[in-house]
A and B are shown apart, each in its own frame.
Chain A
Amino acid sequence: EAQVTQNPRYLITVTGKKLTVTCSQNMNHEYMSWYRQDPGLGLRQIYYSMNVEVTDKGDVPEGYKVSRKEKRNFPLILESPSPNQTSLYFCASSLGQASSYNEQFFGPGTRLTVL
């Protein structure tokens, strides 16, 4: 089944404790992206990747890191999480960049709480 998977689905952690949220897709998609969703603000893009070893900042990259060592995986790293990073996070992938006909396929979401 074609899908985007994220782990963990739920995470409660404490300020400053490094964490990684994994994202994997099995559709051979070139493009992957991370978003956070906060009430009233819609989905905001954190980072995106056009291909292996090619990543770039979205609108809210501060406090996050990503890597794209393999085409299928795009982990999101919070080196020192803070309470303002408490949010619902979505990973998405598509055949190519969003500026053309490429719809995004979303993962199930990761709800992160930073105490």
Chain B
Amino acid sequence: ILNVEQSPQSLHVQEGDSTNFTCSFPSSNFYALHWYRWETAKSPEALFVMTLNGDEKKKGRISATLNTKEGYSYLYIKGSQPEDSATYLCAFPPDSWGKLQFGAGTQVVVTP
């Protein structure tokens, strides 16, 4: 059962435009929310791990917000560049031990 949902499944963005997409997760028993960036032919790499409601994280042109009460997180890319093309994964631990459930990802394609 996939408790973590990401939308949209894919995005095509013009270079220079900004974009955002969503990760939804169960709002009960929240522990943390992870974001990973996965480029083709590479391994996923961590962007953010967020644990507090209202948390905002930023890394360069990429930022994320977290709403644990309603069960969603947004990832924003400001002024998209071709090197931002990747699949962005969010992941949600459903318990306090070791499980981690990933969403299916949002594939972002930035065209020059």
Contacts and interface: CB of A to CB of B under 8 A. Distances in A.
Given A99-B31, A99-B32, A105 B97 contact: no
Contacts of B43: 90, 106-109
B97 A104 contact: no
Interface string B21-53: 000000000011010100000011110010100
B97 A99 contact: yes
B49 A99 contact: no
Given A41-B104, A104-B36, A98 B44 contact: no
A112 B52 CA distance: 38
A36 to B, nearest CB: 11
A48 B99 CA distance: 7
A104 B51 CA distance: 15
A100 B31 contact: yes
Closest 10 CB pairs of A and B: A103-B46, A99-B31, A106-B43, A43-B102, A42-B104, A98-B100, A99-B93, A48-B98, A42-B102, A98-B93
Interface of A: 31, 33, 35, 40-45, 48-50, 56, 58-59, 90, 97-109
